[in-house]
Structure 1
């Protein structure tokens, strides 16, 4: 397994991130434990979760499954760089009770203690803001985070689904407090969705954040969707493939990889690992075989001819605005 540094921190993390969003909702506890054991055995040490994962009626269940896995011992907790998130109301009935969601100081305090209890640990390596809170000032958010760092409950803070200017605003506010600020951004980024290249990734690079792409297979479209459709599968990707322009791109993508003897899902992950600023893509295996495929992608080296052809099939958004400066 290849490793890198998480943004401007001292944390060494694997170049593949184990996403646990399926644990509890689509993958039972025993199989979730087996996947985490296999990942750790193969050197994957960066695990990502969120306090709302686990299903609409059992929010928090995913963190509980990770906690029961830690409880098995064997140094599991010490070997893992653990990331979770805060933002949404996790009440099972979904009631928007005041101060039980978003990023107010009181909810951050309440949410981190609840996550620690479910996870069965006394600290979180990376505590991420799942979305932007447009109502709470950054001064309040960073004050709450600084308290948690002082208490030893978290080590670092990260963002998810932020625009470039959100990253700038957050870190400038942190700098005024002499706080560390954000160290990572978790964003939607893959071959078929490259808008993050315009502002989000340049902002992350400018402020020294690691980039952690989610949905690297674009909801399964980059995992051999047309081939699976012909074989009688397709599942959740069927509606998306009804878009003729996108279908043509995916078909060209699969044809290219068939010609080169490459697996679509593995290429999508390997491509992300060639992108500037990317720490590692998040994979969310439901079964062990999906993890094995992702592990192969980390060792896959794409030739210049393949990379050029991928750019032609899925062209990026073009140069970022800063490229037009005199």
Structure 2
């Protein structure tokens, strides 16, 4: 499998996996986070994804600060990696310290640049759609940051398909490139993006990065880890909430993985990497070992019969495929 793929229509080549940093700070201490980043770069994973509010278990902005210290440790690192961060989530107590107002976008960008210790953010992502702000306001702010050299490309996260279309239409009216990527939740258990998000992204030339590729650990061997008492993450949050409703499917999945002699996390990532949409999974390792497990998925080829069985265990929505054909008889 190619270790580098295009980032949408930007002309940039990025690693086949994105290094997510949501666990840095609180779950993963700085020494281990640095080892994860070093290991990722050594394996050509050159896109690091973060957000201005990550590290909230310590304080909002902590993860960007950690990445900034890591970048400063070597003069070559900043040239070797692409930095993606996000704006939009709550960063303070004031009413204007969240959302996608021009005020918040510009101030947040400047604060992220200071924390990261860099002059430019390679991919500045809107963390979620803000219904209270018109697109002309958003693109005025983003256009200003781009013209100043503070942002190279703009992406979205957690957008609906129609949000992507509306954003692109407004950007084109201002003569801007607009969005180059969308980051959404997508995995064997959550297949909604196949209906409209991925078709919209394809139509407008956006890369699709997928967060929670293992559904918060549910697809990484949650049942086995529960029996062994080792499932710290898969026993809480998104994974725990989904397990009650999907236990039979997860049990079948883990039996299939055992029959294959493969770790469930490896199979879940390999399925994503096999998708015809060319999605780029965002892995959020807490340890170097978890990153190394994700790297093994790059060399895993799932046979056709395994892919067929996964479709039976975790069926697509409706008839499968895109909307509206997925639900039309």
TM-score by length of 2: 0.94
Change in Cα spacing, 1:312 to 1:63, as seen in structure 2 (3 Å) is same
Q: Which residue of 2 aligns with 1:299?
A: 299
Q: Give the one of 226, 230, 237 matched to 1:229.
A: 226
Q: How does 1:164-179 map to 2 (within 5 A)?
A: 164-179=161-176
Change in Cα spacing, 1:42 to 1:108, as seen in structure 2 (3 Å) is same
Q: Give the one of 119, 122, 139 matched to 1:122.
A: 119
Q: Which residue of 1 aligns with 2:109?
A: 112
Per-residue deviation at 1:223? Answer: 0.2
Q: How does 1:264-303 map to 2 (within 5 A)?
A: 264-303=264-303
Q: Could you tell me which runs of 5 or more consecutive residues in structure 1 were left unpaired when the two chains were aligned.
A: none
Q: How does 1:1-326 map to 2 (within 5 A)?
A: 2-91=3-92, 95=93, 97-238=94-235, 240=240, 243-317=243-317, 318-323=320-325
3-state secondary structure, aligned to 2:133? coil
Aligned mates of 1:90, 1:34 — CA distance in 2: 28
CA contact (8 A) 1:213 1:278 kept: no
Per-residue deviation at 1:89? Answer: 2.0
Q: Could you tell me which runs of 5 or more consecutive residues in structure 2 were left unpaired when the two chains were aligned.
A: none
Change in Cα spacing, 1:134 to 1:183, as seen in structure 2 (3 Å) is same
3-state secondary structure, aligned to 2:302? coil
Count of matched residue positions in the alignment of Structure 1 and Structure 2: 322
> Could you list the per-position Cα deviations for residues 206-227 of structure 1 after superposition, in whole angstroms to 9, with x for gaps in the alignment?
1111000000010111001111
Per-residue deviation at 1:279? Answer: 3.7
> Could you list the per-position Cα deviations for residues 122-150 of structure 1 after superposition, in whole angstroms to 9, with x for gaps in the alignment?
00110000010101110010111111111
RMSD: 1.7
Per-residue deviation at 1:300? Answer: 1.1
Aligned mates of 1:3, 1:279 — CA distance in 2: 12
Change in Cα spacing, 1:156 to 1:256, as seen in structure 2 (3 Å) is same
